[in-house]
Structure formats: C-alpha cells, structure tokens
C-alpha cells in the first residue's frame, strides 16, 4: 500500500487516490485498506497534510465505500465530520497559500540500478497550489519531475560533478543532485520569493544553505543558493560558478527571456572563448539576435553533423542486467528538460543557441529514466523532452 501513501503525501488528485485504494483492496476499498488509510495516512500525518485536501479525499473515500455497501471505519467518519464543522470549501484554494507535499521516488529492484543506498527518496516540499497566477516558481512542474528522475536513474552522470541549475523553483532537482552526491550543488532563481521558498525546502530536507559563493571546503550537506536575474547577472558572477553540468527545467517558455538565458549558457559552457576583446564594447562577445537557421529536424536544431557521434559517445548504454554509464566529455554540458508549448518559441531558442555557437541534441529517447513515480497519475512524462547543449 506504499503507493497509496506516496500519492496522498504528494497530493495527487483524489480520483487517483481512490483508484489506488481499490487496487490495494483487490477492487474494493476494504476495511483493511481503510485501516491503513487511517493508521498511516491520517492519524500519523494529519497535521502535515493540507486539511481541505484531506477533507475532499475522505468525502470521496466514504462515498466509495457506501456505494459498494461496505462499512466505513468510525475514525474516518469522525475525522470527516470534524472537517465538515471546521472547514469551508473555499478554504481549498486561497490566493498563493503554500502547502506541504512529499515527493517519494520509488526505486525499482534490480542489481543493475544504483539506488544510492536507498530504496526510496522522500523529498518534503513547500509548494503553491496556485500554479497559473503569479506563483509558478513555487509549483512542481512535469519537467522538474522528469529531470529529477533522470538524475536518480543515471547517478554516475552527476555524482562528483559541480552542478548548477538555472530557475530552480522549489529546489527538487537540487535535492536529487545532492542525493546522488554531486560534488557541488548551486541553485538559482531570479524571483526573491521563490528563492526564499526554495531555502525553506532545502531546510526541510536537512541541507545547510549558503547564499554566497566561496572556495571553502565543500560540505556534502551544503547547497548554495544564488539570486540570479538572467537579464542583469554579470560576467564576474558567472565566472565564479565554473560548473561541470548546467541544468534547467521548463526554462524556455518565455521568448522575452531567451536571449538572457542563452547568454548565460554560452558563457558557462565556454567562458574562455566568450570574453570580449578589450575595448570592443560587445557584451560577452556574443550576437544573440534571433535568426532563421537551417539544420532543424522536427523542430530540433542539430547543429553541425560532426556533433552527432560526439553526443552518442556520452549516452548511458543499458544492458539486460541493468545500466552502465558513459562518462561526460571534457568541458561543461547543459541538460534542459522542457514541455514544448509553442514550437515558435522553441525554434527561437534553437536559433539563439546557433548564434552563440552552441549545439542542441534531443536525448529524450536515448536517456530515458526509470519510472520512479509510478503512483503519480497526474504526471505526464510523455510530454517532456530532454535536450543536451554544448559548444560546437
């Protein structure tokens, strides 16, 4: 019944919870399933769960049992009656109110999977319920879940690497990077309220937070946070980062921000080549005007054909007994997970990359992660694509 508990703690839609409860009971929400719900999902964690959400779940659970002429556990009736007396339906969504979710990554069995000495990673997160009205940075998006699954499925690509994330949101990707023992984890966001919420989440996951860049001895429980508005970050700030791997989840949806993002990627992926000539006045020596480019295949700009073999050499090679991993090439690389909502925006991103002497390759089919969130029916991984970006 662990998937049912994981689904409840991550605040999956209540219909999904009822479906999982039926599976646990062999088609019915039995007394045993109700007892599990009470003992492990409510009595133990009721104070941590969002009360209006729990009220909605109990209402559907009780209706499901009664529909099949079963007996409802007294404790569930009493808890629902308490919610009925103390909560109003309007309490479910109030502005930008924050709630606590717990994302549980369930590692599959098998000797070939490196699970980092754990069969489950549970990441408690303070999030927003209001995803579309000004609080997007504090919400959990599919691309962030997908990128997190990639990190946990292919830990040897990220362990002992200096990793930097642009637009870190709730901090889930950084928590997964720390779990696979990245040598350095630096998270960033341009929104101060999002950054403050991210620091809360790192604390919930028992990480120390450092907000300044330094060269002190690395603490494995230390995650660095940086306020980094893309449009105003300076070369000196970027020069201090020196990451092996850059990551981003759903960071290319706004066409206005793309030139600033590509400027950052270009500098971090090849800082030596991008310093402007003295007195040239050319910011970072880049021309980031959006241009039409050729070389696109199904909306993905492939760059020069010589890069194909180079990228193929980087990919993990799966075997029947598990997975083995190829090492990263020398130099930095960026992994960007995204849902392509408008092809015009994505094409502009590819054109900007080409102008900045960067190449992009679609790794979605080559670097397919394990399904570590099998209980999360609301998470549609099929719409997420993963791209690798490097210098030409």
Contact 375, 7 (CB under 8 A): yes
Strands (E) located in 219-316? 222-227, 245-249, 296-297, 300-301
The pLDDT score that the predictor gives to residue 290 is 31
* Highest mean pLDDT out of 83-97, 110-124, 181-195, 324-338: 181-195
The pLDDT score that the predictor gives to residue 311 is 39
Please determine, for residue 190, whether its predicted confidence score (pLDDT) is greater than 70.
Answer: yes
Please determine, for residue 315, whether its predicted confidence score (pLDDT) is greater than 90.
Answer: no
CA distance 330 to 85: 62
* Domain segments of the chain as ranges: 2-92, 98-391
Percent of the chain with pLDDT over 90: 60
Q: Which CATH superfamily is domain 98-391 in?
A: Vaccinia Virus protein VP39 (3.40.50.150)
**Tens-place pLDDT, residues 155-176:** 999 999 999 999 999 999 999 9
Other C-beta atoms lying within 10 Å of the C-beta of residue 146: 27
The pLDDT score that the predictor gives to residue 239 is 87
Question: What is the pLDDT averaged over residues 57-80?
Answer: 94
The pLDDT score that the predictor gives to residue 46 is 59
Residue 90, sorted as left (phi over 0), alpha (psi -120 to 50) or beta, turns out to be: alpha
Question: What is the pLDDT averaged over residues 356-374?
Answer: 94
The pLDDT score that the predictor gives to residue 215 is 47
**Candidate from 157-161, 311-315, 322-326, 341-345 with smallest mean pLDDT:** 322-326
């Amino acid at each position: 019944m662990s998937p049912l508990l994981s689904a409840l703690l991550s605040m999956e839609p209540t219909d999904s919870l009822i479906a999982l409860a039926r599976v646990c009971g062999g088609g019915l929400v039995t007394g045993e399933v109700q007892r599990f719900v009470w003992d492990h999902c409510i009595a133990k964690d009721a104070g941590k769960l969002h009360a209006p959400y729990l009220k909605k779940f109990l209402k559907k659970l009780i209706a499901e049992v009664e529909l099949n002429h079963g007996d409802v556990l007294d404790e569930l009736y009493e808890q629902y009656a308490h919610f009925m007396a103390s909560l109003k339906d309007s309490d479910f969504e109030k502005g930008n109110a924050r709630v606590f979710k717990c994302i549980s990554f369930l590692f599959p069995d098998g000797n070939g999977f490196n699970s980092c000495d754990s069969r489950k990673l549970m990441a408690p997160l303070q999030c927003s319920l209001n995803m579309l009205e000004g609080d997007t940075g504090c919400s959990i998006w599919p691309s962030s879940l997908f990128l997190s699954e990639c990190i946990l499925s292919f830990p040897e690509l990220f362990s002992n690497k200096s990793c930097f994330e642009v637009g870190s949101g709730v901090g889930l990707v950084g928590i997964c990077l720390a779990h696979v023992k990245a040598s350095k984890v630096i998270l960033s966001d341009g929104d101060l309220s999002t950054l403050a919420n991210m620091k809360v989440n790192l604390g919930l996951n028992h990480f120390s937070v450092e907000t300044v860049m330094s060269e002190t001895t690395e603490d494995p429980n230390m995650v660095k946070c940086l306020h980094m508005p893309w449009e105003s970050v300076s070369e000196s700030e970027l020069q201090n980062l020196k990451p092996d791997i850059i990551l981003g989840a759903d960071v290319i949806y706004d066409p206005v921000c793309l030139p600033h993002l590509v400027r950052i990627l270009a500098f971090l992926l090849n800082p030596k080549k991008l310093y402007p000539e003295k007195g040239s006045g050319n910011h970072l020596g880049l021309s980031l005007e959006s241009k039409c480019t050729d070389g696109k295949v199904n909306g993905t700009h492939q760059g020069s054909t010589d890069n194909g073999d180079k990228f193929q050499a980087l990919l993990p090679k799966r075997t029947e007994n598990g997975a083995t991993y190829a090492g990263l090439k020398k130099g930095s690389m960026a992994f960007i997970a995204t849902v392509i909502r408008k092809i015009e925006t994505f094409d502009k991103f590819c054109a900007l990359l080409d102008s900045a002497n960067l190449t992009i390759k679609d790794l979605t089919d080559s670097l397919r992660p394990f399904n570590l969130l099998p209980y999360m029916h609301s998470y549609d991984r099929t719409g997420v694509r993963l791209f690798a970006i490097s210098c030409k």
